[in-house]
Amino acid sequence: MTAPAADIGQHPFAAVLCGLGTAQADLLVPNAEISERLGVTDDWILTRTGIAERRRAGVETTTADLAVRAAAAALKSAGTDTVDVVVLATATPDHRMPGTAPEVAARLGLHDIAAFDIAAACTGLPYALQVAKGFVADGAAQRALVITVDRLSHLTDPDDRTTAALFGDGAAALVVRRGQVGEPGAVGPVILGADGRHADTLVVPHGQFMRMRGREVFHHAVTRMSQATEQAAAAAGWSLSDVDRLVPHQANSRITAAVGRRLHLDGGRVLENIAHLGNTSASSILFALAHAACNGSLRPGHRVLLTAFGAGLTWGATTLTWPNVPCVADRPDPSQRREAAR
């Protein structure tokens, strides 16, 4: 069952988006570098996933490395170098223990504050947002830093057609500050849910590559993201006709299109940027937001609905009115070599 939305009226404060940053992984991997190994054509991958290329982290790049880059960009966007809590969502921590967040906080010069990881796979953003929102809304923090980061390409079998072409690596981050309910950037009610009965649909067993039953994932992703979208809109007092931009988790272009059709939202209102990044897991929504804000398709005042789905199975959604916030992107050196096919 989907968890009921919290009553935002019970707290005097809201969590307001005030900074956004992204960090792409260094190595560019176009379809041509993996298609032959998979026994398919470049167009076969593009048609089925919407992905033309993806970025991957090199073997020496850690999850913390990517997280620090994205977090530094978000702090710069917010015009601050201090926060009171760091919430890091990842399915690929650098160690089983300790968590990645304390190291990231220390490398950012954020000492003696709460810093911890959340594991909700591709649904990491709404789960982390709800936690950060709680810190800010109840007065425990003035600002919170939310980081999403994954290196899922390192958990995929390079010979598996189902997963090898899907995933890219990267990190994104946002800063929320204490503010007023209803102001631009204020995070609305967050809908969260999970159903462990279907956990084996998408799983990475210890010491093994990812296993995914694609058709089942497609069905659950479309159903759960659509339901969560409707519930988040209702909790915010919106109808779907009020939504200017729907930003779903960028799982693949077919899922994105199916969610748009199910919700009767035309393509112009559904944001997608999977073509050049691949599925970046928990970071994909923030990458899509950043891309749209930079190219002008997302503007201050737009009513935005975010929805995600991931392993667990987990899902979530929330709303906000887009604020006038700059996005700072930490991009790789354009001269960086392309990775040879694994």
246 class by beta-carbon count within 10 Å (0-12 exposed, 13-18 middle, 19+ buried): buried
Q: Give per-residue burial for 12-33: e unless 16+ CB within 10 Å, then b.
A: ebbbbbbbbbbbbbbbbbbbeb
Active-site residue flag, 294: no
Active site annotation includes 279: yes
Q: Pick the catalytic residue from 31, 122, 252, 273.
A: 122
User: Which one is catalytic: 18, 31, 220, 249?
Assistant: 249
Which ranges constitute the DSSP H helices of the chain? 35-38, 42-49, 63-78, 100-107, 124-137, 214-235, 253-262, 284-295
DSSP string, 69-127: HHHHHHHHHHT-S--SEEEEE-SS-S-SSS-HHHHHHHHTT--SSEEEEE--GGGHHHH
% helix, strand, coil for the chain, step of 5: 35, 25, 40
Out of 31, 252, 273, 279, pick the active-site residue. 279
Tokens of 189: 């009610």
Helix (H, G, I), strand (E, B) or coil at 176: strand
- What tokens were used for 154? 């390192």
Q: Coil, strand, or helix at residue 148?
A: strand
- Residues serving a catalytic function are 122, 249, 279
